[in-house]
Each structure stands twice: as structure tokens, then as C-alpha cells.
Amino acid sequence: MDNVKYLFQHEMTNLKKLMQPCKLSITLKSSALLLSLFTLFLPVAGQANSLDTLSQFMKSTQSGRAHFTQVVTSPNKEGKKGRIKNSEGTFIFLRPQRFRFEYEKPFPQTIVADGQTLWLYDPDIAQVTARSQEKALGSTPASLIASAPDLTALEKDFTLSALNADSPTDPLQWVQATPRAQDSQLQMVRIGLSVNGQQVQLSKLEILDAFGQKSVISFDKFEVNPTSISPSSFKFTPPSGVETIRP
């Protein structure tokens, strides 16, 4: 069950604290999802650097759907290596302000931002937690993926910088996003983009939170601007018989 706790764990500034008393608060902890986007292919002009590529992605992709896998590694403690937790599921988003993470493994859990409310549904304990979306998300990976409409808006919450490749054989272009807020529970997010000719693929998010916990989210099976996604795709109604908490 712990694996599900980290969607935006660093991907959305520790929703674990924001969403309490919900037992599972996934990693919107820097939050998810979600967003962080996924394997997407967009036209890129010339020899664009990674900031130009990220800008093109944000302008061209207004909605999307992807499968994701997430690996969360806790920091080493008292000479012991940190635990590794794996999870996976599906992610959809619609700019601005709407996204939905459906965790499928190892346990089901749902995170929905409908533009006004951030919902976290944990079937295991039959509980829904609802918070103001504006207050709950703030400077989180969700802003990087689904919320901010363009680079200018993103730079209000993050300092962005183009990074060199990790090694000569690293095929990805990297952008680092560092929260401007001094009290952020998120240290930084690294966005990995793969460019092939006139196309770019956003393939990874590496998220490091203030506690030293690292989350790596990889996206595949991406659909860009699918016509089946609409505002109604993000409507959430608590299931009958489930407790709803509004902290």
C-alpha cells in the first residue's frame, strides 16, 4: 500500500501531509501525478534547447492520456539502504487545472483535480479526502505537467534551467525546476525530454522532496490531445457509503 503513497510525492509536493488524515496520501506529496508528463511527441523547430522544447510541449499539448510507472526510493537511514517501492497506473489531464491519476498496482487509488477540488479516494479504507485544489497543489509537479498553460506561468512558481546531459551517451535533454517558495516540501524536479528530428518525447520526471526521497516517473503509451477527454472526465462523486473528509 505504501507504493501508492507517492504519486506526486515529490511529483506533487507531499500530499501526504496536505491530504491528512487520509491514510494513503499519495505522492502528490510534492503533488502526483500528474502530472510530469508522458511519452509525447511534438514538433520542435531547429536545434531547440531543452527550455525551448519544454515550451513547445506546454503550448502544443492541451490534453493527454498515458500509462505511468513510478519508482520511489526513500533515503538511506542509519547505514541501511532506502526502501524501493513500485507502482503504476494511468494518467489523464486537460489544461488548465484538471488531471486524474488512477493507481492500479499494487493497490487501487484515485487522485482527481477537477479545477476546484482535489479529491483523494482510497478504496482500501473506504475514505475520500477533499481539499481546495489551489491550496493543496501550489508549486508541485502537477503544475509542471497539467496546470501551467505556458513557460511564463510556470516560471512564477519555479526557477527553470537547462541542464547538460548526465553523460555523453545520455539521449535526453533535461530541464530542472526549483520551487521559488522557501517553505516548499519539494527540492527540485528534473524533466527529461527525448528529441528525435522534429519530434520530442517527454519521457521522465525525477522528483526530489525536502526529506531526500526520490521518485522517478516514466510515461508510455501516450496519446496527445485525444478528443475523448473533456471536463466531464474529471468529475468525481464519492461512492455511496464512503466517508468524506474535508480537512
> Alpha-carbon distance 60 to 47, whole Å?
18
**Low-confidence stretches of the chain (pLDDT beneath 50):** 1-47
pLDDT single digits (tens) 87-141: 999 999 998 889 999 999 999 999 999 999 999 999 999 999 999 988 777 656 7
Residues 46, 51, 56, 57, CA torsion sign = positive
What is the pLDDT at residue 227?
94
What is the pLDDT at residue 189?
92
111's enclosing H/E stretch is strand 109-114
Q: What is the pTM of this model?
A: 0.74
CATH topology assigned to domain 2-226: outer membrane lipoprotein receptor (LolB), chain A (2.50.20)
Per-domain boundaries in the chain: 2-226
What is the pLDDT at residue 18?
37
> Alpha-carbon distance 34 to 96, whole Å?
13
